[in-house]
Amino acid sequence: MSVLIKNGRVITAVDDYHADIFIEKEMVTIIGENLTMKADKIIDAEGKYVIPGGIDPHTHLDMPFGGTVSADDFETGTLAAAHGGTTTLIDFAIQTKGHSTLEALDTWHAKAEGKTAIDYGFHMIITDMEDDRIHEMETLVKEGVTSYKLFMAYPGVLYVDDGTLYRVMRKAGEERTVICMHAENGIVIDEIVKRALAEGKTEPKWHALTRPTRMEAEGVHRAIAIAEVADVPVYIVHLSSSDALEQVTLARNRGVKAFAETCPQYLFLDHSYYEKEGFEGAKYVMTPPLREKWNQDNLWRGLQFGDIQSISTDHCPFCYKDQKEMGVGDFSKIPNGGPGVENRMSLVFNGGVVEGRISLNKFVDLTSTSAAKMFGLFPKKGTIAVGSDADIVIFNPNRKETISVNNPVMHNMNVDYNAYEGFEVTGISETVISRGKVIIEDCKYVGKSGDGRFLKRGLYSE
Ligand code: URP
Ligand code: ZN
Ligand code: ZN
């Protein structure tokens, strides 16, 4: 199948020009002016932006968590991602304590294979690591899994102690791979939670009030310090607060390889959402929690000045009905996580470019290029260049839509609410091409599950 995109404005993390793009055998093969070759499909992109497909490096599809399973599986979650202009996800395989990480990888391959609308990779969540199994991390690199997530939160579930952190970090550094860190002091937080429940504080807002930003900042500081000694790049996931950002900035100013992502929920939602009527606040129970609004300006500054490199979603949806409701009467039983994979590109474009906070190039960098570089996908993914995979979005910068669970242009996620309900956004992914195949045409899905492939990722490059 060949595709010719005509008359578009091509925008990458560094370029901005008008050109036509010819796609053949899944790749961009020619970029030039007034191309006239024959193609199976011709797309007129006049007045539109032609940008690299989005890369969301942090999702949890079909994830067992909090006594239930996230509501999107690899079929529904990747379809929703495609609708939103994302053509690559990096999800997480989870090692079961006492078992092999390679076994976990097989389990997650079985969940995803043949079901996805777009390409995907895996990070490996390590929950324990004895010396006699650490060699598995060499095999994982050969299998294309070149990053790990470690948790300082959720004691008794995904938490690992500092000794394990150090052991895994050392080995990851030797293998030139990357550590993704959920940085919060989970041990102290659990004590605060116990105390709150004993005092009868059970509503959803107490999820946030028991997770102070200081405990996120302490986790970030400790994670970076251990990573510095272990000599490994560390990427702080879902960074939510100004306190935590300060720690990343301090480390980077000292020349430490510390990186961070934030998520739309921390840029556009805030603590006041926990004050909604009745149990509604449960929709926003995620970890870290939503913060006081003033943090948002500092997160945007972190993005503008490069201390935060990427915007992921941490998409981990649970339906309000039956799933979030598991925590009625006890906030600690509300499954942690929220939806967002479909709305990331429009939210960031609207809040970033339309509202004058970031440039178009920065928009592409934050939503695609930077994650491709960090996680060993660049330049196949994350840019538009001859030889790159033809993962391309035709983005209409003028189209307006209202995000709503009832708007099929903006909500195809398998979850019964949208965290951004009622938000009006300008900037919509209208046509989405994944490895040369049109999978979204005028906002409608025209692909099929199984179009996506597992990506064996390489090593990180800065
Ligand atoms: O609340 C969240 N973030 N749920 C998903 C698991 C995680 O910590 O990333
Ligand atoms: Zn996390
Ligand atoms: Zn997560």
DSSP characters for 116-139?
-SSEEEEEEE-S---GGGTTHHHH
Ligand 1 pocket, residue 350 CB under 6 Å: no
213-230 helix and 162-174 helix, angle to the nearest 10 degrees? 50
Q: Whose CA is nearest to atom 9 of ligand 1?
A: 314
pLDDT of residue 374: 98
Ligand 1 pocket, residue 158 CB under 6 Å: no
Q: What does residue 125 show for φ and ψ, rounded to 5 degrees?
A: -85, 120
Could you state, in order of their start, the residue ranges of all structural domains in the chain?
52-374
Ligand 1 pocket, residue 123 CB under 6 Å: no
Ligand 1 pocket, residue 336 CB under 6 Å: yes
Closest ligand to residue 182's CA: 2
Ligand 1 pocket, residue 340 CB under 6 Å: no
242-253 helix and 213-230 helix, angle to the nearest 10 degrees? 20
Other beta carbons less than 10 A from residue 122's beta carbon: 25
Q: Whose CA is nearest to atom 8 of ligand 1?
A: 287
Point out the ligand 1 atom lying closest to the alpha carbon of residue 158: 8
pLDDT of residue 460: 83
Ligand 1 pocket, residue 316 CB under 6 Å: yes
Residue 348 host element (H or E): helix 344-348
Q: Whose CA is nearest to atom 2 of ligand 1?
A: 337
Whole-number Å distance, alpha carbon 132 to ligand 3 midpoint, is 28
pTM beyond 0.75: the answer is yes
List the chain pLDDT tens, one digit each, 462 residues.
999 999 999 999 999 999 999 999 999 999 999 999 999 999 999 999 999 999 999 999 999 999 999 999 999 999 999 999 999 999 999 999 999 999 999 999 999 999 999 999 999 999 999 999 999 999 999 999 999 999 999 999 999 999 999 999 999 999 999 999 999 999 999 999 999 999 999 999 999 999 999 999 999 999 999 999 999 999 999 999 999 999 999 999 999 999 999 999 999 999 999 999 999 999 999 999 999 999 999 999 999 999 999 999 999 999 999 999 999 999 999 999 999 999 999 999 999 999 999 999 999 999 999 999 999 999 999 999 999 999 999 999 999 999 999 999 999 999 999 999 999 999 999 999 999 999 999 999 999 999 999 999 999 876
Q: Whose CA is nearest to atom 5 of ligand 1?
A: 337
Whole-number Å distance, alpha carbon 238 to ligand 1 midpoint, is 8
Whole-number Å distance, alpha carbon 315 to ligand 1 midpoint, is 8
pLDDT of residue 58: 98
Ligand 1 pocket, residue 287 CB under 6 Å: yes
CATH fold of 52-374: TIM Barrel (3.20.20)
Whole-number Å distance, alpha carbon 368 to ligand 3 midpoint, is 18
Helices (H), 145-263: 162-174, 186-198, 205-209, 213-230, 242-253
